[in-house]
Amino acid sequence: MHTILALDQGTTSSRAILFDRQGRVLATAQQEYPQHFPQPGWVEHDARDIWTTQLACARRVLAESGVDAAQVAAIGIANQRETTLVWDRRSGAPLTRAIVWQDRRTAETCDALRAAGKADLIGRKTGLELDAYFSATKLQWILDHVPDARRRAERGELAFGTVDSWLVYRLCGRHVTDVSNASRTMLFDIHTLGWDRELLDLFGVPAALLPEIVPSAGVVGHTHDALFGRAIPIAGIAGDQQAATFGQACHRQGMVKNTYGTGCFMLMHAGDEAPRSRHRLLATVGWNVGGRTDYLLEGSVFMGGATVQWLRDGLGIIERSGDVEALALSVPDNGGVMLVPAFVGLGAPHWDPYARGTIVGMTRGTTAAHIARAALEAIAYQSAELLAAMQKDAACAVHEVRADGGAANNDLLMQFQADLLGVPVVRPRVTETTALGAAYLAGLAVGFWQSVAEIEAQWQVARRFAPQRSAAWREETMARWVRAVAHARAWAQPHPA
């Protein structure tokens, strides 16, 4: 057995990657799939697309690399988190399209819960902000809007799951979720590591819907023979951001990674006790390996690389995401333009579901290139707000930020990020750290790797972006960003003042 197969089911695409014992990428397959926006603020995926693209990628990576399933020691899964699915236990048919983490349709439900004074209870138990981002209100929406759903759920006919549950169910028939994914549902107590009765009652969720909770590393089942020609153990599961933190070898308190994917997710290792943020960050389960639970502090930004996707698909000013760098570099600076990509509201630290995308500072000289530059810079500004909150919360100096995800390949963005943060941004040799983290979890469970120390030693720097600007520049530039954000806030408020 010489490889681990990682399945990385992301918001933009499904990916399958084979890793060798040194943690190097042997082969990759990737496929984008459709995004559905049926109403403003709504974002959906077809659960069947998630499964078929993920399976197709897994099969393709094996076929194209000539690796036989017998050579695969285990499968590890990393997935977009919070995205909510309900399916029929008998037929496996999904009840609705999956409600994606970016979907804002339950913002008013969250307002009502806040008005009823529930935010503190939820925060204490789950470590989360009361926001439409998380699964609980999405699941509640499905139960309230699909005829007969709640009654069928009570009778045990339906299954709820995040994307990890859905994939495992299709791969081997079990209905499970790992602790890291469970910690994003808003139904899970991060201190006791179990589903919480009081929260289930609050959201009207029948317990019969819920998956069994499993550790992040451990064999949960074997794939159906027909899928890959022979059964492969599924041995690792984690939410993609926790997996990326693991893959970036952030195993010690205070270490930070930022993933520049669809969104931007900055996570700091917080030790083996759940932290409580005082600056509107999230406390979340990192992983549970070998009986130990590690916790993370997280800042989530909803539109990261997806802003570049919008330049491509919405505005049509670039053909491929990678083209944004050349376009942005064709002008010396942003020409005074700032873009606040609050297309689906703002996440941490603002948590404003009613904010909407805004471009300020345009003049008659403004061109597509300035907009492209402003879009890239916006990714960095939002991440800088996260690090500022994190440093206040953790009261510790951050020495570097480890970067990964599709947009981390953009040198202009990485340099601007380092300039804004005032700390080095480091890109590792393997940027597929989400998949790598899932591979490591699976590999540890089946003895492919022996210890966390062994995999920690595999992490290597490819490029370090050192800050090149003064503290005064940072302060002045961030102050302009804060002004721009003020223009985006509360725009789509249901009952504006």
Ligand X SMILES: O=P(O)(O)OC[C@H](O)CO
Ligand Y SMILES: Nc1ncnc2c1ncn2[C@@H]1O[C@H](COP(=O)(O)OP(=O)(O)O)[C@@H](O)[C@H]1O
Give yes or no for residue 263 binding ligand X (CB under 6 A). Answer: yes
Residue 13 binds: one of ligand Y, ligand X, none (C-beta under 5 to 8 A by kind): ligand Y
Give yes or no for residue 53 binding ligand X (CB under 6 A). Answer: no
Give yes or no for residue 82 binding ligand X (CB under 6 A). Answer: yes
Give yes or no for residue 10 binding ligand Y (CB under 6 A). Answer: yes
Q: Spell 397-427 as b/e; 16+ CB within 10 A means b.
A: ebebbbbbbbbbbbebbbbbbbbbbbbbbbb
Q: Are 57 and 31 in contact (CB under 8 A)?
A: yes
Q: What radius of gyration, in Å, describes the C-alpha atoms of the chain?
A: 21
Residue 311 binds: one of ligand X, ligand Y, none (C-beta under 5 to 8 A by kind): none
Q: Are 457 and 96 in contact (CB under 8 A)?
A: no
Give yes or no for residue 50 binding ligand Y (CB under 6 A). Answer: no
Q: Are strands 188-189 and 194-195 parallel, antiparallel or unpaired?
A: antiparallel
- Cα–Cα distance for residue pair 235/51, rounded to 1 Å: 18
List Cβ neighbours of 478 (8 Å cut-off, separation of 6 or more): 381, 384, 420
CB of residue 261 to ligand X, shortest distance in Å: 3
Q: Interface with ligand X by CB under 6 A: which range of 32-40, 77-85, 175-183, 380-388?
A: 77-85
CB of residue 470 to ligand Y, shortest distance in Å: 26
Q: Whose structure tokens read 């790598």? A: 436
Task: Tell me whether residue 211 or residue 304 sits nearer to ligand X (CB atom).
Answer: 304
Give yes or no for residue 245 binding ligand Y (CB under 6 A). Answer: no
The annotated binding site for ATP is made up of 11-13, 262, 305, 309, 406
Residue 309 binds: one of ligand Y, ligand X, none (C-beta under 5 to 8 A by kind): ligand Y
CB of residue 286 to ligand X, shortest distance in Å: 13
Each residue 267-306 as x (binds ligand X by CB under 6 A) or -, in order, gives: ---------------------------------x------
Counting residues that bind ligand X (by CB under 6 A) gives: 13
CB of residue 9 to ligand X, shortest distance in Å: 8
Q: Interface with ligand X by CB under 6 A: which range of 116-124, 234-242, 458-466, 476-484?
A: 234-242
Task: Tell me whether residue 84 or residue 321 sits nearer to ligand Y (CB atom).
Answer: 321
Task: Tell me whether residue 167 or residue 308 sits nearer to ligand Y (CB atom).
Answer: 308
The annotated binding site for glycerol is made up of 81-82, 133, 240-241
Give yes or no for residue 309 binding ligand Y (CB under 6 A). Answer: yes
Q: Which of 16, 76, 23, 180 is nearest to 442 (CA)?
A: 76
Exactly one of 261, 347, 437, 467 binds ligand Y (CB under 6 A); which one? 261
CA distances from 393 to 265, 278, 412 (A): 16, 6, 29
Exactly one of 81, 269, 356, 370 binds ligand X (CB under 6 A); which one? 81
For CA atoms 433, 54, 38, 86, give the dihedral sign.
negative
The annotated binding site is made up of 11-13, 15, 81-82, 133, 240-241, 262, 305, 309, 406, 410
Nearest residue relative to ligand Y (C-beta): 406
Catalog residues that contact ligand Y under the rule CB under 6 A. 10-13, 261-262, 305-306, 308-309, 321-322, 324-325, 405-407, 409-410
Catalog residues that contact ligand X under the rule CB under 6 A. 10-11, 80-82, 101, 239-241, 261-263, 300
